[in-house]
């Protein structure tokens, strides 16, 4: 399952950036903010099922924008169906949402995205995440 999606989006550890967002807003509102702020068109994808080693499954919600071989994904860091595990990436539990995007997606410099996001009052905090600090980054290859 993950292999097919990885091939579709051309994912690997080195070819994307990750931003964490803190917001009390619903996912569709954050997608709307991103669409307007970054001039993109995120589309809601079917909830993704991830099979865990212990024979359990988790479901996550996400939106995606594709432009040629580049992409941006808005991923909810909150798991939809599991009471034991509340966050997709536990080490980033302070963030409600994650934005994963390919390099050179935008004409402006990627650090300008943070300023654009912080300009909206629905987003309380946004910052880049150091991928080296995440143990469970394999979960982002969905």
Across the range 78-86, mean pLDDT stands at 78
Task: Give the per-residue pLDDT at 14.
Answer: 53
Listed by start position, the domains of the chain span 2-141
At 82 the pLDDT is: 66
SS3 117: helix
98 vs 5, residue with greater confidence? 98
Residue 104 Ramachandran class (φ > 0 left, ψ -120 to 50 alpha, else beta): left
CA 12 to chain centre: 15
pLDDT in the model for residue 9: 46
Q: pLDDT class for 5, splitting at 50, 70, 90?
A: very low
> How many H helices and E strands in the chain?
3, 8
Q: For the chain, what is the mean pLDDT?
A: 84
pTM over 0.75: yes
Task: Say what the pLDDT of residue 64 is.
Answer: 96
Tally of CA atoms within 13 A in the half-sphere of 86 that contains its CB:
6
Identify the bridge partners of residue 87 per DSSP, sorted by sequence position.
78
Among 57-71, 77-91, 105-119, which range has the highest average pLDDT?
57-71
């Amino acid at each position: 399952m993950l292999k097919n999606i990885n091939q579709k989006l051309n994912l690997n550890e080195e070819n994307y950036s990750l931003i964490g967002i803190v917001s009390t807003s619903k996912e569709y509102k954050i997608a709307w903010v991103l669409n307007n702020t970054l001039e993109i068109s995120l589309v809601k994808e079917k909830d993704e099922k991830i099979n865990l080693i212990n024979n359990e499954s988790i479901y996550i919600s996400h939106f995606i924008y594709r432009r040629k071989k580049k992409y941006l994904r808005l991923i909810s860091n909150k798991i939809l169906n599991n009471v034991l595990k509340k966050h997709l990436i536990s080490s980033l539990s302070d963030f409600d949402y994650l934005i994963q995007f390919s390099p050179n997606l935008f004409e402006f410099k990627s650090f300008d995205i943070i300023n654009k996001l912080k300009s909206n009052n629905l987003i309380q905090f946004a910052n880049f995440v150091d991928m080296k600090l995440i143990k469970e980054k394999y979960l982002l290859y969905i």
